[in-house]
Amino acid sequence: MNRRKALAGSIAVLALLASACTGTGGSAKGADAKAPDDPSAVKGSITVLTHRTDLVQDGTMEKYAAEFNRTHPGVKVEFDALTDYEGEVKIRMNTENYGDVLMIPAVIEKKDYPRFFASLGSEAERAARYRFTDYATVDGKVYGQSPIGVVPGFLYNKKVWSEAGVTDWPTTPAEFLDDLRAIRSKTDAVPYYTNFKDMWPLTQWTNVNGSVGCDTGATTALAEGDPWAEGADLRVGDTLLHDIVRGGLAEKDPTTTNWEASKPKLAKGEIATMWLGSWAVVQMRAAAEQAGTDPADIAFMPFPARKDGAFCAVTSPDYQQAVNVHSDHKEAARAWIDWFTDKSGYAAANLALSPLKDAPLPDVLKPYEERGVKLIDLDDTKGGEVKTIDNQSEVGIYKPDYRQELVDLARGAREGGLDDFFDDLGERWAEARDSLGS
């Protein structure tokens, strides 16, 4: 009995000790990562944390580094590719050792950026040249820069769609559903593939936000209004997803889908359509080449909604690259970010939108240009707030759960009606906003 008491006591002491040292000492607030004046004079060894494990493995990143060394011979660049990027970096960021250059993980709250990252300059100065600066702006200073921009849309197999007799882009959700029905009846393809089991493809549906109403203030609307109010962007998108599944236009068994396997299936025309982003086009075309089908069959279309006769597509940044505030080689790190954003050709290689405002559109988006699709940059001033409400409410518009529930609801694996489902989401959203406001 005595011994047990001693043990309990020591656990209590440990608990006290632990609570005393839980507060991490990240007090270095507000450092700057200045661009070096003379690129050839910068020296130092930097580690770049990246989520692109594929590019590190196949040596592409090494090639970028070699290219970078031509103008910056004194900088040694090393890559640290992380498979579970979010999860691993989040834990590493409890220390000071999280690389010199890293992608800002989604978990970091905007207000904490100055504690973790060095500033790249003022917004006024950077916004003139780059897109997406306000996604990483805190108090007028910019802390990250995305090397590419993406546009959400439906990836579709042109051949399958034309076999079904559809050649023009649908302009309303109802038309889109009709087209999918035509595909179901006239071809063997699965009209729409949800990728339910891998979860993250479902989160892509949040990027509908802005495309329906063509409003650059769509993110602010999320923070201030009910995202599932009648006619709101997310409601329109979620209703379409619901109707696709309810109408039997999605794969028969969503619970055992497989993302990797879905790529060749789309390429071969076994799947007709998927809602993703322009970033996926390269991967699908590569899959088509491997499967021996024509990569040109993989095409891209905007969300079926028009405002004043024009489609709208929202541009959004990928991960933002930033400099670790604790880095010993901030100049070298900054030089890498600048070079990677401006000169590496990374955006072009990924058929993505360049973060440079004056760069031309990538080939993938040429059809968009021809048909007058309006590309809009959302105002992200309230982006941080939206994320906080999202987490607080546990709704998760950037997480897969609620859309999995939506799909379950649509295919009858969950009880309830769609209206009640949206009402409940709206209520939780409003409640969370109120609790944060008080």
Partner 1 sequence: MADTTREAARPVPPAAPAGPKRAAPAPRGPRLSRRLTPWLFLVAPLALLLTFTYAPIANMIAYSFTDWDGVSPELSYTGTGNYTELLTRSELFEVFLVSGYYLVASVVQIVLALYFATVLSFDVRFRHFFKGVLFFPYLINGVAIGFVFLYFFQDGGTLDSVLGLFGADTDHAWLGTPFSANTSLAGVSVWRYLGLNFVLFLGAIQSIPGELYEAAEIDGASRWHQFRHIIAPGIKPVLSLSVILSVSGSLSVFEIPYIMTGGATGTETFVIQTVKLAFQFNKTGLASAAAVVLLLIVLAVTWVQRRIVPDEKVDLV
Binding site for partner 1 (CB under 8 A): 10-11, 14-15, 17-19, 22-27, 87, 90, 93-94, 105, 107-109, 112, 115, 196-197, 199, 252-253, 255-256, 391-392, 394, 396, 399-401, 404, 408, 411, 413-414
Query: In whole angstroms, how close is the CB of 247 to partner 1 at the nearest point?
Result: 17
Complex with partner 1: residue 131 or 399, whichever CB lies closer: 399
Complex with partner 1: residue 93 or 301, whichever CB lies closer: 93
In eight-state DSSP terms, residue 356 is B
- Tokens representing residue 186 in the block: 């006239």
Distances (CA, A) of 43 to 34, 69, 285, 352: 14, 11, 40, 31
Complex with partner 1: residue 13 or 229, whichever CB lies closer: 13
Query: In whole angstroms, how close is the CB of 271 to partner 1 at the nearest point?
Result: 14
**CB of 282 closer than 8 Å to CB of 210:** no
Q: Distance between CA atoms of 52 and 15, rounded to whole angstroms?
A: 39
**CB of 272 closer than 8 Å to CB of 192:** yes
Complex with partner 1: residue 204 or 344, whichever CB lies closer: 204
Handedness of CA 156, 315, 199, 226 (dihedral sign): negative
* Alpha-carbon radius of gyration of the chain: 24
Query: In whole angstroms, how close is the CB of 254 to partner 1 at the nearest point?
Result: 8
Query: In whole angstroms, how close is the CB of 203 to partner 1 at the nearest point?
Result: 11
Residue for token digits 């401006």? 342
Complex with partner 1: residue 15 or 174, whichever CB lies closer: 15
**CB of 303 closer than 8 Å to CB of 80:** no
**CB of 167 closer than 8 Å to CB of 161:** yes
Complex with partner 1: residue 124 or 261, whichever CB lies closer: 261
Query: In whole angstroms, how close is the CB of 277 to partner 1 at the nearest point?
Result: 21
Query: In whole angstroms, how close is the CB of 45 to partner 1 at the nearest point?
Result: 26
Q: Which helix (H) or strand (E) segment is 437 a member of?
A: helix 418-437
Complex with partner 1: residue 220 or 257, whichever CB lies closer: 257
Q: Distance between CA atoms of 237 and 214, rounded to whole angstroms?
A: 13
Distances (CA, A) of 434 to 35, 410, 423, 427: 42, 30, 16, 11
**CB of 172 closer than 8 Å to CB of 420:** no
Query: In whole angstroms, how close is the CB of 2 to partner 1 at the nearest point?
Result: 16
Query: In whole angstroms, how close is the CB of 406 to partner 1 at the nearest point?
Result: 11
Complex with partner 1: residue 69 or 258, whichever CB lies closer: 258
DSSP, collapsed to helix, strand or coil, labels residue 165 as coil
54 residue type, one letter = D
Q: Which helix (H) or strand (E) segment is 285 a member of?
A: helix 280-291
